[in-house]
Structure 1
């Protein structure tokens, strides 16, 4: 005999149907996500585009792992918002004006896909999906320069930009002034984007170069002044020879004076 109200759906079949519904929503979101990048400790609001006007309830969810969902909040048409216990409790807020979910501060574990499910009066569910990518904040890089080689009145230098984490590098230097040789050492080194090669003539004005490090959520920059100090004239071959000659002359005069004095003393004796 059938139970009152007609035949009931077996629990196993009910679980399968619910799983299929969730799976359909998951794959639907995978194809319609809007990506947002944010740094750890930052703030982010997910704003649904073109939400249905006839909604009666909104449910914000977080896809923990390929279809396993965590409820974040529920809001009804009469602006009653409920926040179940979740990793977002105390960090998630609902903005009535644009129906958005705002999270602050963002944790590294908040990576993933977020759903806004709109239930409309007909019982249909309409979804808006977002992907949040959480990145580490970027510290200021450390930029160092070193002269690799001197030749023919030019300095060949290398700049090394040091920054931890998964970042991209870009370089910018002041416009080259007159006198730069056309055989300039190539700039960025293939496979070593954190290094830059430059050449400067001796005694030239300092050249400012910037190293910018970035990820999709932020950036940081440092700068260095490249110089090629000229060799002192005291180090030139001519000045060295003159200095050596002067020293030998002084030594010679001293020796002559001493020998002359000794000779006088010997003759008196």
Structure 2
């Protein structure tokens, strides 16, 4: 017990002598969230085995980092401090609201140089998830005036409200600040999305709302107009396509006719058949003399001409 007291007094005297050499800079603002962690990073990278780092909280000794080991002095932070990155960062875990205040780090290297920086830590409650309430002020066939009110379910201080909007898949644009806004919607606003961002310096949450949820009749009207516009687009396309299809049909017909003529020219011509002549045959009957008489006789597909003459005996 006595050794612990002597060591603490020695550290306190060392820190006091170092701090007295110069005034600390303006404290750097640091924000943390209850139950989460926050890092206090050193202004320089610590190097050398003889490096000594002293941390103070408000007016009391917090911890000392020397010989690559962190020694926690303040019992309030016991088991909640660690030094990742070889002492280059002091991490405070499981933050509490009362952890807020001024933290000062004093670094003494082997060359006798001293660096000192202060941090002003503020610990905030996490931001609750917000909700949007709507109130329709005026609702006509082509316009809808609405009030959007953004709020959180619990009472939390240090909250700010910011509204953004976007249309379709575009980027968000700043609309207004404050928890309540008034908007006037028209038929061309059906794709508009309004985003409420609730934030404090350490945390933020958001919720969005679209026209489909506020004024559904605007969506229907706009979609109807969109349907008519689509119908007109189809008619315009058909007007352009019909002459093109007719032209293609004429070209194909002309090519087919030319091809048919070309095939007819390439077909071989049939030679005319020669006429065949048969020798007349005479047949005598008893008591008669037969002579040929002009008569057409068809034999074997050829035309045979003969003349038969009959004389009485």
Same fold? TM cut 0.5: yes
- Unaligned 5+ segments in structure 2 are 1-14, 169-174, 219-313
- Cα distance, 1:162–1:230 mapped onto 2, change above 3 Å: same
2:211 pairs with 1:199: no
Question: How far apart, in 2, do the equivalents of 1:112 and 1:210 lie?
Answer: 34
Give the whole-Å Cα distance in 2 for the aligned partners of 1:71 and 1:23: 15
CA distance in 2, matches of 1:24, 1:222: 52
User: RMSD of the alignment, in Å?
Assistant: 3.2
Which position in structure 2 is the counterpart of 1:228? 215
1:219 alignment partner in structure 2: 204
Deviations 1:164-198 (A, max 9, x none): 4322211122328xxxxxxxxxx64xxx7111111
Q: What residue is the counterpart of 2:148 in the other structure?
A: 159
| Structure 1 residues not aligned, in runs of 5+ | 1-17, 64-68, 177-186, 232-269
* CA distance in 1: counterparts of 2:88 and 2:189, whole angstroms: 60
Correspondence list, 1:242-253, <5 A: none
Answering whether residue 64 of structure 2 is matched by residue 74 of structure 1, we say: yes
Within 1, Cα distance between the matches of 2:117 and 2:16?
Answer: 19
Q: Distance in 1 between matches of 2:166 and 2:193?
A: 6
Q: Secondary structure at the match of 1:109?
A: helix
Aligned residue for 1:246?
A: none
Aligned residues: 193
Q: Does the Cα contact within 8 Å between 2:138 and 2:146 map onto a contact in 1?
A: yes
Structure (1/2) with the larger helix percentage:
2
Aligned partner of 1:48 in structure 2 is: 42
Larger radius of gyration: 2
- CA distance in 1 between counterparts of 2:46 and 2:38 reads 22
Q: Is the 8 A contact 1:201 1:228 kept in 2?
A: no
Larger strand proportion of the pair: 1
1:143 Cα offset (Å) = 0.7
> 1:52 and 1:43, CA in 2 relative to 1: closer, same or farther beyond 3 A?
closer
Q: Secondary structure at the match of 1:87?
A: helix
Q: Distance in 2 between the 1:85 and 1:36 partners?
A: 20
In structure 1, the partner of 2:163 is 171
Which residue of the partner structure matches residue 37 of structure 1? 31
Deviations 1:236-255 (A, max 9, x none): xxxxxxxxxxxxxxxxxxxx
Q: Give the TM-score of the pair, scaled to structure 2.
A: 0.53
Task: Identify the structure with bigger relative contact order (alpha carbons < 8 Å, sequence gap 6+).
Answer: 1
Q: CA–CA distance in 1 between the matches of 2:189 and 2:105?
A: 61
